[in-house]
């Protein structure tokens, strides 16, 4: 009796447990059975990605890269989430400035603020980088880092995109979410390397992308350590640009924050060109990818002539060097996740 009860059945259960645990630890067998990139249509882009990952993760392959060197960097605006009709961080700055305006009567004499408060978007953008920076500084400085974090999270909860009527942090690209998860499942460490403000991104990117704050590289303003009125230490955000993580600033930011050269990088505009050059100039297998916005129906279509996310020089170089260019309309089954 005892033997019958504890016989094959228990052995089978135990064996299954061991096998299940072993599969769980390796992760590879289970994932080989399902498509890790279900929102990507079969095509050259998807194939280039999966081929690259297979090459660098196969033990004994000439292209094998040890896990600690599997650094992958992603631009944010236009690569991981939407950047139209203008950068979402600007939408945040505009909303914040409108809310703060009653306490700043002096703003009425400033062209940029006046245009903003008059809802004259054309005049607002006509004030150029200088005018927009004025609004960004007014809304990104003069508070502690903790206060700023709270204002970003509060805004993200209530603000809605003018065309899609969804929270901005839900306008992330489903295929790129899958790519991030796929890379991490294959031992990659995923980083954001964005021209956007690092303190604007950090509060929400962990939930949106599974990327923790310490893996976000971005532009920054000067921050000062000081004591509050009640003697508590705090970090004050000052109205002074410290670092612009765009164009040639991206490899500099990667070197400063990460200290290793990526083997995999993805961008969508000329602002990513130097990051892609820096990534592919390293020895061994390298991957450079570009998201080309070709989908006017589901998202937007823009490239060489666009003011935001201009893709011109980087496109030429991608063609010349055989980098992977993702055609959003052709390569992506879906663009955004199901409504949250």
Site residues for its own copies per CB under 8 A: 3, 6-7, 10-11, 14-15, 17-18, 21-22, 25, 68, 71, 145, 189, 191, 198-199, 202, 206, 212-216, 220, 223-226, 232-233, 235, 248-249, 251-252, 255-260, 274, 277-278, 281
Least spacing, CB of residue 219 vs its own copies, in Å: 11
d(CA 218, CA 154): 21
Contact 264, 71 (CB under 8 A): yes
Least spacing, CB of residue 124 vs its own copies, in Å: 30
User: For the purposes of burial, counting CB atoms within 10 Å of the CB of 36, is it exposed (0-12), middle (13-18) or buried (19 or more)?
Assistant: middle
CB-nearer residue toward its own copies: 134 or 215: 215
Query: Cα dist. 92→114, 120, 161, 268, 300 in Å?
Result: 17, 17, 11, 22, 20
CB-nearer residue toward its own copies: 25 or 32: 25
Query: Cα dist. 216→34, 199, 322 in Å?
Result: 30, 9, 28
Least spacing, CB of residue 261 vs its own copies, in Å: 9
Least spacing, CB of residue 162 vs its own copies, in Å: 29
Least spacing, CB of residue 167 vs its own copies, in Å: 22
Residue 159 main-chain phi, psi, to 5 deg: -75, 145
d(CA 125, CA 135): 11
CB-nearer residue toward its own copies: 3 or 33: 3
Least spacing, CB of residue 6 vs its own copies, in Å: 7
Closest to 118 (Cα-Cα) out of 133, 106, 104, 101: 101
Contact 73, 257 (CB under 8 A): no
d(CA 54, CA 56): 6
The dihedral through the CA atoms of 292, 273, 305, 195 has a sign that is: positive
**Around Cβ 264, how many Cβ atoms within 10 Å?**
25
């Amino acid at each position: 009796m005892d033997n019958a009860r504890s016989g094959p059945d228990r052995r089978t259960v135990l064996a299954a447990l061991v096998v299940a645990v072993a599969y769980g630890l390796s992760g590879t067998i289970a994932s080989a059975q399902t498509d890790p990139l279900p929102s990507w249509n079969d095509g050259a882009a998807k194939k280039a990605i999966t081929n690259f990952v297979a090459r660098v993760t196969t033990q004994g392959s000439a292209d094998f890269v040890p896990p600690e060197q599997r650094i992958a960097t992603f631009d944010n605006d236009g690569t991981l989430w939407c950047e139209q009709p203008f950068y979402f961080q600007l939408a945040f700055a505009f909303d914040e400035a409108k809310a703060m305006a009653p306490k700043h009567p002096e703003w009425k004499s400033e062209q940029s603020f006046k245009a903003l408060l008059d809802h004259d978007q054309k005049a607002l953008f006509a004030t150029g980088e200088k005018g927009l920076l004025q609004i960004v500084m007014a809304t990104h400085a003069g508070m502690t880092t903790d206060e700023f974090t709270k204002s970003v999270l509060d805004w993200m909860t209530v603000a809605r995109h003018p065309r899609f009527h969804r929270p901005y942090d839900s306008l992330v690209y489903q295929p790129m979410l899958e790519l991030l998860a796929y890379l991490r499942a294959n031992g990659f460490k995923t980083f954001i390397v964005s021209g956007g403000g690092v303190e604007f991104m950090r509060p929400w990117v962990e939930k949106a992308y599974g990327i923790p704050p310490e893996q976000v590289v971005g532009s920054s303003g000067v921050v000062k350590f000081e004591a509050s009125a009640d003697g508590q230490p705090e970090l004050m955000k000052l109205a002074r640009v410290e670092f612009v993580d765009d164009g040639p600033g991206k490899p500099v930011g990667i070197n400063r924050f990460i200290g290793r050269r990526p083997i995999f990088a993805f961008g969508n505009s000329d602002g990513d060109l130097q990051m892609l050059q820096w990534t592919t100039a390293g020895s061994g297998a390298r991957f450079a990818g570009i998201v080309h916005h070709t989908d006017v129906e589901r998202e937007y279509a823009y490239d060489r002539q666009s003011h935001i996310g201009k893709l011109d020089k980087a496109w030429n170089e991608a063609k010349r060097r055989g980098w992977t260019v993702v055609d959003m309309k052709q390569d992506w089954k879906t663009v955004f996740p199901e409504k949250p």
